Amino acid sequence: MDVNKVYQTDCIKGLKQLNSNSIDFIITDPPYNKDKDYGEGINDNKSKQEFKLFNREWLSECYRVLKEGHHLYFSCSPEQIFYFHHLSFLEGFKFRHLLIWSTNECRGHMNERTWLRSYEPIFWIQKPGKSYGLFNNYPFSALDVINISSPHVNRKGEDKKVHIAQKPLKLFETIIKKSTKENDLVLDPFIGSGVTAIACKKLNRRFIGFDLSKENIEICNERLSKVKGNIKGWI
């Protein structure tokens, strides 16, 4: 499979085309099963059993393709923290840490009887093997609460919202920079509007991404074309 490319395919089918122990790093934002409509007949409305089997399958494939001792980061909703902690353990991963992406703004329409949600958790898990940590240039530069506002439709540039579940570029840039080296191969099985690909191109990391949506692939490639990169083989 060629690198520095986004493929329009189901994530499981895409993952099965990758060799075992071939990926240096995985970062992704999987569907939360919150009944979102992604367009093109793609929705996010599975039964509990379907959702569990789906998550176990992509986690299992990520475990297979990831190199020993290397890391996977993925986001989820707060009520899914214990759920994914259990599933990742079942698939063989070691839990490393839980990051908090704090937006300092309400993350949903909630009533007056509960706390307003202003964060999303991000799992950091590891495939067993010779362990390594983060690449930090300065002490205390890797706080586990990352304060970055959400993308918005009225913004200009890289954080203009073009996807229903888009993460801020700076968030993924921060994680990738601290967790990988130049020329490492980064995988995103749910690449959406291409935030991971853009971060990799800016940071001189290679990438592979999967997404079901033809529109998302086109958006991703258009956004990538506007970013300068130094690694041979960029589209």
Contacts of 98 (CB under 8 A, 6+ apart): 81, 121, 122, 123, 124, 144
Closest CA to 184 of 3, 13, 38: 3
**Per-residue pLDDT at 116:** 80
End-to-end Cα, the chain, rounded Å = 15
> Cα–Cα distance between 182 and 206 in angstroms, integer?
8
pLDDT tens by residue, 158-204: 666 665 667 889 999 999 999 999 999 999 999 988 999 999 999 99
pLDDT tens by residue, 61-113: 999 999 999 999 999 999 999 999 999 999 999 999 999 999 877 766 666 67
Strand 66-75 and strand 23-28: the pairing is parallel
Q: Say if CB 29 and CB 74 are below 8 A apart.
A: yes
> Cα–Cα distance between 191 and 28 in angstroms, integer?
7
**Per-residue pLDDT at 140:** 63
Q: Which amino acid is at 65?
A: V
Is a pLDDT exceeding 70 seen at residue 157? no
In this prediction, residues 224-230 reach a mean pLDDT of: 81
**Per-residue pLDDT at 138:** 64
5-225 belongs to which homologous superfamily?
Answer: Vaccinia Virus protein VP39 (3.40.50.150)
Is a pLDDT exceeding 50 seen at residue 2? yes
